[in-house]
Structure 1
C-alpha cells in the first residue's frame, strides 16, 4: 500500500503556512467532529494507534482531497462500521441508528476529566534497553511495518536509513506497529533520537539544525 500520509520532508507539496492559534476551529462543524471522535473513542473499541491507521488507510485520492477533520470523520466512519457499532446503512441514513452502548456514553461532565487523565502508553517490557544517551544509531533503511504489510509505523520515510544519536531514553512503551493491528502492546524501549538536518535532506536551509524523533528500539541499529 502506498503511504500518502507520510509527507514529512517531502518536496512538491507547497510551503507550510503557519496559522494563528486562535480561533482554534475555523468552521462550525470542526468542534463537533472532535467531540464525536472523543465520544466514540471512549466506547473502548479501538486505541489511538488503530484510529491513526484508519485515517492512513483512506484511499490516496480521498486522503489528498480531504481536509484535516474530513480525514478524521472518514476514518471514524470506517471504524464504526468495522466494529459493528454502526452499520453502513445507519451511517448512510438508510436505517435508524440502534446503539447498544449507552452505558459507556461520554457525557459532557466527564470530558474534562477524561482529557486530563489521557492515555499513558508506558508499559513493562521484557526487552532490554540497548542504547544509552550519546550512542550513535542508524534507522532501518526501509520504514515499513515488519509485522503487517502496509501497516502502521511511526518511523517516517524521510528518516529511514539516517544516522543520529540517542538523546534520551523514555522507558518502555507500546509499539504502534503492533498495537494498531490488534496484535498486543509489544512494548519495547523508546528513545528520543537527534538527527542533523544535513543527514535528512540534501540541501537543508540550516545544516546545523537538528530534528528530534521519538523512535522505538526495533527501528534502530548500532551505527557503524
Structure 2
C-alpha cells in the first residue's frame, strides 16, 4: 500500500531529530516491545514483511506523531494488531488490558519468568551468525548498467517499492540474486523468491529541478517492479 514510507523528496515534516549518544532504549518498555515482537517472529506468528504491513496500517498521521515520541510505538501497534488478526487475543481483550495498564494496575509488576543468561547469549550469537539471504529462484533478467523503468503501480497490499520511484528511470547498480518477495511474504503466501537489485536514480530524475544534479539515490527493488528502459 502507499503510505508514510513514500515521503521521499517531500517536506513539511519538520527537522530530523538527531540525538548524540542515543541509548539503545530510552525506556524499559521499548526493550519489552522488541522482545515481544521477536518472540512472535520466532513462533511464526509474525515475520518482517507481515509486521511492516501492520505498522503501515497505523495511518500516516499516527505514524508521524508516534515517531516523534518513540519508534517502538510502531512495533507495539503492529504486535497488538497481529495478535488480534491471528485470533490469539480478541479486540475486546486488547482494549480491556489497555484500560488496566492506563489505570496503573501493572506499574510495579515484575516479569513472571526468568531466563538462563547462557540461553540469552546463545540466542544473541545465533542472531549475529552471518547467513546469505539468497534463495533458489529465477535468474535475474537485468545486469549491472542496464536501464530500467519502475512500473507505475498502485498496490493495495504491502510493497517495498516507494511511490516516488514509480514511473522513473534508473540504472542497475548491483544484482543480489533471488530473495524473499515482500508482496507474497506479507500476505502469507511464502517466500516466492524474486531477483533483487539495487537501482541508482539521479535526484533530478526523481524530483526534477528540486533535486541536486550531483546526488544519486540508491533503492533496492525486486524484479516484478521493473521493466526495461533500453532505447
TM-score by structure 1 length?
0.81
Between 1:162-171 and 1:111-120, the stretch displaced more is 111-120
**Could you tell me which residue of structure 1 aligns to residue 14 of structure 2?**
14
Between 1:82-91 and 1:194-203, the stretch displaced more is 82-91
Unmatched 5+ residue regions in structure 1?
96-101
1:70 matches 2:73: yes
Look up the SS of the partner of 1:203 in the other structure.
helix
**Could you tell me which residue of structure 2 aligns to residue 184 of structure 1?**
190
Note the C-alpha offset of 1:61. Answer: 4.2
1:197 matches 2:203: yes
Contact 1:121 1:173 in 2 (8 A): yes
Unmatched 5+ residue regions in structure 2?
101-112, 114-118
Change (3 A) 1:119 1:72: farther
Note the C-alpha offset of 1:89. Answer: 4.1
From the CA coordinates, give the structure whose radius of gyration is larger.
2
Partners in 1 of 2:198 and 2:220 — Cα distance?
Answer: 4
Contact 2:174 2:197 in 1 (8 A): yes
**Could you tell me which residue of structure 2 aligns to residue 134 of structure 1?**
145
**Could you tell me which residue of structure 2 aligns to residue 98 of structure 1?**
none
Partners in 2 of 1:65 and 1:90 — Cα distance?
Answer: 26
Note the C-alpha offset of 1:182. Answer: 0.9
**Could you tell me which residue of structure 2 aligns to residue 46 of structure 1?**
46
**More helix, by proportion:** 2
Change (3 A) 1:176 1:20: same
Contact 2:204 2:211 in 1 (8 A): no
C-alpha RMSD of matched pairs (Å): 2.5
Partners in 2 of 1:25 and 1:220 — Cα distance?
Answer: 38
Counterpart pick for 1:218 among 189, 214, 224: 224
